[in-house]
A and B are shown apart, each in its own frame.
Chain A
Amino acid sequence: MSTESKTIFSPALAARFDRLVTLYPLRRSALIPMLLYAQDEVGYLSDAVIGEIAARIEITELEVRNVISYYSLLHTKPGGKYHVQVCTNISCMLRGGNELLAHCKQRLGIGNKETTADKVFSLEEVECIGACSWAPAVQVNYDFHENLTPELMDRVLEDYRAKS
C-alpha cells in the first residue's frame, strides 16, 4: 500500500509507514512501532487501523490483534485525550504512589482504566516507568511528571485541563 492508495492516516504518517516497512530485513519488524504511531494519531487501535496495518505489513488481522493483546501500551478502545498513568511499583509505592493514585481517582472521579465523561482524562495504574529515583512519578501520554505530591498532581491535572 502506498501513500497514493486510500489510507486512514495523515499523509505524513502514511509516508512514514511507507518507509518503515522497507527499513528492516523483515517487513513485519515495523509492526509494533506502526501500531504505536497509529494509536498516537488516531487515539486507539480501531478496526480500520488494524485492517490497514495488517494490509501494509502483509499479515492477517488476527496476527495483528494477537500482537496488540501482548503489549500494555496498545489499546483497542478509546481513552481520554490525556492518559494519566500512575506508577505504584515498589520505588513509587515507598514514596506515596498509592496515595497519588487514590488522589487521582478522587480528583477525576473515575476508577482504574476508566475515562471521564468529557473524555479529557483516562486513568491507569501502571508498572514501573523508569522514574524510580524521582518517585513518585506519573506519565501523562508520553510526558513524565516526577517527585509528585497530591498538591503538585493537582497542578499537573489543571494544566492539562486548561489545554484540553
Chain B
Amino acid sequence: MATLVSHPDEVKLLSSRFGKGATSIDKYIELDGYTAVRKAIELGPEGIIAEMKASNLRGRGGAGFPTGMKWSFVPKQSAKPKYVLVNGDESEPGTCKDRLIFEHDPHSVIEGVIIAGLAIGSRMGFIYLRGEYRYLLTIMEKAIEDAYAKGFLGKGIFGSNIDFDIISHTGAGAYEVGEESALMESLEGKRGIPRIRPPFPAVVGLYGGPTIINNAETLATVPHIFRIGAAEYAKIGTERNGGTRLFALSGDVAKPGVYELPMGYNLKKMIYEVGGGIPNGRSLKAVVPGGASCPALLPTEIDIGMDFDQVAKAGSMLGSGGVVVVDDTVCMVEFALRTMKFYAHESCGWCIPCREGTDWLKKTLTRFHAGAGVAKDIDNIRYLAQNMLGRTFCPLGDAAAMPTIAFVDKFRKEFEDHLDGKPCPYAHQPEAALAGV
C-alpha cells in the first residue's frame, strides 16, 4: 500500500525483498529466506549470541541497546517458560518503518523470532502489532500459517528436535504500549501500565518468565546478520553501530519515504540529497532526528552522522529513525504544542509527573500559542518539563520533556514573539483547525 522509494546511496538488506512478493513463503525461500535460521540451529545458543554481539546491532526501537548483550541477560536455567516478544506497536510520531517490513517481508520477522528463541532457549514467540495495522495482521497470520505448513514452526522445526510456536497479536490503540513493560501488560490483557524495574524482562517478563523484547526492525535484521556474517554486517555501519537502518523521512522534504542507509550516514546529506531538499523554495528551520521524543536540531547542527553515539553527542537521539523535516514557515510554538498534545493524550496516567506535567504543558502551550501568554510562561514551560525528566515511571515522561526543553532553548525568540496578546505571528494554518472545534 505504502509507496516505495529508492536512492543510490541505499544499502538494501532489510529492504532487499521489498516489492518482490516475499510475503509468499516460496518467494521468501527463493530470495535466501530461512537459510539464516538453519545456520543458527547449527551454531547453538552461545554461538548465536557471540555472532549477535559481533554484529554491533543495536535496538531499533529507540534506546539503541546492544541486542546481543540484551539476549545474553536471559538466564540459561529457568523454572518458568521463556518468551520472545516482538514490539510492532510502532506509534512514535514520524515513524513508519516497521509497517513496510510487515507488509513486504513478514517471514524475516518470523525468522528473527525463531533465532532469538534458539539463542535463549525459548519455545514461544509473540508478534504484537498495533491495532491500526489490521491489514498487516492478516499478512502476518498468513505468513505464520505458511511457516507451520512447511515445518518451520511447530514440533521439530527444520527437522531438529526443537519445538517453536509463534502467535500474532493485535493491540487496540495505545502509544504507551510500545514501552516494553506496558507491552507485556497489554499482551496479558490488561491496561498498558508500565511495570517497575528491576526485575527486568530478561529475568521476569511475560507471564513471569524470562522474556526478550525487541523492535520488529531489530528482529527482521537478525536473519541478515547470519546470512552475510556478523563481521560483514558490522562493517557496513560505524564503530559500535553495526549495519543499516530504515530511516523514515517525512515533513517538509521533497522526496519523503523510507530509505535504508548505513548507520552513521550524514543527516544533512540525507535531507538534501536522499530527500531532495526542502520543497517550494523554502529553507530549513529544524529537524527532529528520531521521532517526536527526540530534541529538534537546528540547521547548524545537522552535519552529523546518524548513529546512536553521534546524534547523542549533538544533544539529541537517533530514536526510532523517524526524521521529521521542518521548514521556515512553521511556528515552533505550534509544533511544540502539537507534540505535547500527543504526549498528554498518550500518558497512561499512572504516575503523577507525567500525567500532570503533560496536561499542564498542553494547557499552557495552548493558551500561549493562542496569544494569551505572559513572559514568565516561557521559563515556566521549561521548568515544568525539566521537573518531569527522570522522575517518571517509564520513559514517556522523558519523551515529552526532552523535546519541549529543546523547543524553548532553541526557539526562544519564537516564543517571545507570541507575547502580549499577539496572535501567532507565524500562523499559516487556521487556529480553529488546531483547536479541534
Task: Give the residues in chain A near B94, CB-CB below 8 Å.
Answer: 90-91, 128, 132
Q: Mark B21-64, 1 if CB is under 8 A from A, else 0.
A: 00000000000000000000000000000000000000000000
24 contacts between A and B (CB under 8 A): A25-B207, A32-B186, A36-B172, A70-B348, A73-B173, A90-B288, A90-B339, A94-B324, A94-B330, A99-B430, A112-B436, A112-B437, A127-B346, A128-B94, A128-B95, A129-B132, A130-B91, A131-B96, A132-B93, A133-B249, A133-B257, A144-B135, A146-B1, A147-B3
- Among A36, A91, A131, point to the contact of B170 (Cβ < 8 A): A36
Known: A90-B292, A127-B342. A26 touches B96 (CB 8 A): no
When the two chains form their complex, are residues B189 and A28 in contact, meaning their CB atoms are under 8 A apart?
Answer: yes
When the two chains form their complex, are residues B2 and A146 in contact, meaning their CB atoms are under 8 A apart?
Answer: yes
Task: Give the residues in chain A near B207, CB-CB below 8 Å.
Answer: 25-26
Q: Mark A71-113, 1 if CB is under 8 A from B, else 0.
A: 1111000000000000011110111001101100100000110
Known: A95-B251, A111-B437. A32 touches B189 (CB 8 A): yes
For the complex, give the distance between the alpha carbons of A130 and B217 in Å. 14
Task: Give the residues in chain B near A129, CB-CB below 8 Å.
Answer: 132
- Among A5-13, A134-142, A150-158, the one that faces the other chain is A134-142
Using a CB–CB distance below 8 Å, which chain A residues touch chain B?
23-26, 28-33, 35-36, 57, 66-67, 70-74, 88-91, 93-95, 98-99, 101-102, 105, 111-112, 125, 127-135, 139, 142-144, 146-147
For the complex, give the distance between the alpha carbons of A99 and B427 in Å. 13
Known: A23-B167, A127-B345. A132 touches B339 (CB 8 A): no
**Size of B's binding interface in residues, CB under 8 A:** 66
Task: Give the residues in chain A near B107, CB-CB below 8 Å.
Answer: none
Select the residue from A33, A105, A125 with max chain B CB neighbours within 10 A.
A33
When the two chains form their complex, are residues B132 and A74 in contact, meaning their CB atoms are under 8 A apart?
Answer: no
When the two chains form their complex, are residues B434 and A72 in contact, meaning their CB atoms are under 8 A apart?
Answer: no
For the complex, give the distance between the alpha carbons of A70 and B193 in Å. 10
- Among B3, B171, B325, B434, point to the contact of A71 (Cβ < 8 A): B171
Q: Mark B233-246, 1 if CB is under 8 A from A, else 0.
A: 00000000000000
Task: Give the residues in chain B near A28, CB-CB below 8 Å.
Answer: 188-190
When the two chains form their complex, are residues A32 and B250 in contact, meaning their CB atoms are under 8 A apart?
Answer: no
Distance from B381 Cβ to chain A, minimum over Cβ atoms (Å): 18
- Asked if B81 is at the interface (CB within 8 A of a chain A CB), the reply is yes
